[in-house]
């Protein structure tokens, strides 16, 4: 009888060991189905609480940097305050000053703490400059207008499209809220390269996108990143 009890106990231990091995092996496999013994208590799985998104830090009022249009900067700063719940990062903004012609470095990236400005050229849409003078004549939010839209945008994710690496933009105002649907993005383009200035005295035109020189694209992405505001206007 004692020998039978020992053999029975060994059989139970062996079976339990086999089940434990099966659980361990399948637990390392994605979407594995793990068997659970019917009479064993199952420990509750701790639930992870999703952390709430942090609101953007308020931006202190600062004077317009000397190289930035003061009136345009005021409007951009007001837009940043107005759309603070949509703009995740407020340490830096970009202003597209479309009162300047396309030969000028009118895409201005402003550090909102130090006031340091980095600037480069950017194209406007052909629908905003039908005579191709190098000056933006009008804004439009209408699909298929090929025009630049006015207002505040927030930068979103990157993707690779027909212009290579690009960045999506979401329009925050009624004047540009079709931006995502119109595929208004930031991308590099040959017609925004410096040699266009030497040959034609102006950049080529986009279909409403913020097209920059191919050699400037990486720098633009570094400066603006995701979750920051671009303000485009003409004052």
Give residue for tokens 């630049």: 148
Write b or e for each residue in 89-127: b if 16 or more Cβ atoms lie within 10 A of its Cβ, otherwise e: bbebbbbbbbebbbebebbbbbebeeeebbbbbbbbbbb
Q: pLDDT tens, 139-148?
A: 999 999 999 9
Decide if 208 contacts 125 (C-beta within 8 A): yes
* Per-residue model confidence as pLDDT tens for the chain (235 residues): 444 444 444 444 344 444 333 333 333 333 332 333 334 343 333 333 333 344 555 556 789 999 999 999 999 999 999 999 999 999 999 999 999 999 999 999 999 999 999 999 999 999 999 999 999 999 999 999 999 999 999 999 999 999 999 999 999 999 999 999 999 999 999 999 999 999 999 999 999 999 999 999 999 999 999 999 999 999 9
pLDDT in tens, 29-62: 333 323 333 343 433 333 333 333 445 555 567 8
């Amino acid at each position: 009888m004692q020998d039978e009890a020992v053999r029975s106990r060994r059989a139970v231990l062996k079976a339990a060991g086999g089940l434990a091995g099966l659980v361990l092996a399948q637990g390392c496999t994605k979407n594995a189905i793990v068997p659970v013994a019917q009479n064993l208590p199952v420990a509750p799985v701790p639930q992870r609480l999703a952390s709430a998104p942090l609101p953007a830090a308020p931006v202190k009022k600062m004077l317009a940097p000397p190289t930035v249009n003061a009136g345009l900067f005021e409007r951009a700063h007001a837009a940043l305050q107005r759309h603070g719940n949509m703009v995740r990062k407020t340490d830096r903004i970009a202003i597209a000053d479309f009162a300047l012609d396309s030969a000028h470095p009118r895409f201005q990236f402003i550090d909102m703490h130090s006031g340091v400005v980095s600037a480069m050229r950017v194209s406007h849409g052909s629908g905003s400059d039908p005579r191709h003078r190098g000056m933006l004549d009008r804004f439009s939010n209408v699909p298929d207008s090929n025009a630049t839209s006015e207002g505040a945008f927030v930068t979103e994710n990157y993707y690779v499209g027909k212009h290579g690496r690009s960045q999506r933009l979401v329009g925050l105002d009624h004047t540009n809220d079709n931006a995502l649907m119109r595929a208004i993005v930031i991308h590099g383009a040959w017609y925004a390269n410096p040699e266009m200035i030497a040959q034609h005295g102006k950049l080529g035109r986009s279909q409403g996108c913020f097209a920059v020189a191919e050699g400037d694209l990486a720098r633009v992405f570094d400066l603006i990143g995701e979750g920051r505001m671009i303000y485009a206007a003409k004052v």
